[in-house]
Structure 1
Amino acid sequence: MGQKQKTADTPDHLDKHNYESELYELQVELVKLQKHIIQNNEKIVVLFEGRDAAGKDGTIKRIIEHLSPREVRVIALGKPSDREVTSWYFQRYARYLPAAQEMTLFNRSWYNRAGVERVMGFCTKAETEAFLEDAPIFESLLIHAGIKLLKYYLDISKDEQKKRLKDRTQNPLTQWKISPIDQAAQKEWDDYSEARNIMLARTSTPTAPWHIVRADDKHKARLNVIRDLLFNLEYKDKPNKAEAPDPAIVFSYTPDALRDGRIAP
């Protein structure tokens, strides 16, 4: 796909021209991927989790920018209703799963229970434990039903999160993103780290592994998530030597990543 793969030795910043050029080429491949999904009645689910302000919105925006809105949906659920609180936990998410020819991207997902809900006290310890046991089973059922599932966790440093949250409060176009949850992100940093570590260890499975995205550089993160998505899904007219993501930016979760600094403490 044109540009040479970036490596850990690549300069820290992509200039605007190179970024837009690489993004264009990847978005062309995404259009080809969607055409293949439609023609072959495939069902794709992509989950995006991560720290507050890690760049989930921007990454999803670049993925869907030139795709047909009839066959791609972005799901970003708010606070559950009184009825949903009493329903089977996965029920409110299951209704948004794709039918044939569709791709669904979850901007936060059922993993709210292992992160925000756990840290902010919106669920009990027993409910969190039940979720951690049930999530791999739920995902194996989805895969058995023919859904292709990809899970991305966008990780940023504490200093980068602080900078981005401050920028949000000062920018009138992004102030809507600030919520009480966001305001607690820095204060609860260590608790979120602990919750993340447990979630990754308990729910990254051979059939549904977590892909970690080092997202301090938004541009590199976006490009490499798209590369990883294209690399892991087959489609007609895919380049014979499809470009793999930079392993310094996107990599499969292993416990070692918590110890060697690839995942922010």
Structure 2
Amino acid sequence: MDIQTTPLPSHIVDTLSQVTTATLTTILFKKGLRNIWIRQTAPLMAGQKRVVGRAFTLRFIPQREDITSPASWSSPISTRAAVEAMPAGCVAIADTAGIVDSGIFGDILCARMHQRGVAGLVTAGAVRDRAGIQVAGLPVWSSGVSAPPAVAQLAFVGWQDPIGCGGVAVMPNDIIVADEDGAIVIPADLLDSVLETALDQEQTEAWILDEVRKGAPLTGLYPMNEENKARYEAYRRQG
């Protein structure tokens, strides 16, 4: 829990905020990574903005009566302490051991996270107090909602450790991007190489889509042959 999470530079956040998770998964697939889309994570509210930030990992394990009780909320290793350790700009991402019938965070903790500048929360588990979270303003991706508190089924055991979330390995300070299609992980060591092609890939696919809407056939367009590559380059020079 001594791993420091430094905020992503604003220009990186701005760049990745213009790129869909669908495009990013394609880029990472070309680099050999196939398992980076976090399963069972969907936007909790309609219209949530795309969020980008370094992963601040949280780990829960199945509850056991001698280690989970309301008294654990005041422990030095508690969700409350973890929230206070979250730096501005991070994306909190929680491993709930596949358990979805307890809500790991509710309106109060989400309100505090939003106040601290946390970009969002991602979990393949559940949250609680949907209406209150909406008021809190923190973007959340989860498997859904569950009324019981976390301690009913889960024990919180720490933060900033490697975790598994939705079948995906997540290391502290990996980059999380979440939008309407769910949440993905960009390994920190691959960030620079992803940035080299991300905007170009997004712009290329936007041009291809525009051509399709004009009635162009897919053959030679997606992927582009030399003729269409030349047309696209001419389009870019004009723009």
**TM (normalized to structure 1)?**
0.29
Give the number of the structure whose residues are more often helix, by fraction. Answer: 1
Q: Which has the higher strand share?
A: 2
The structure having more radius of gyration, on CA atoms, is 2
TM-score in terms of structure 2 length = 0.31
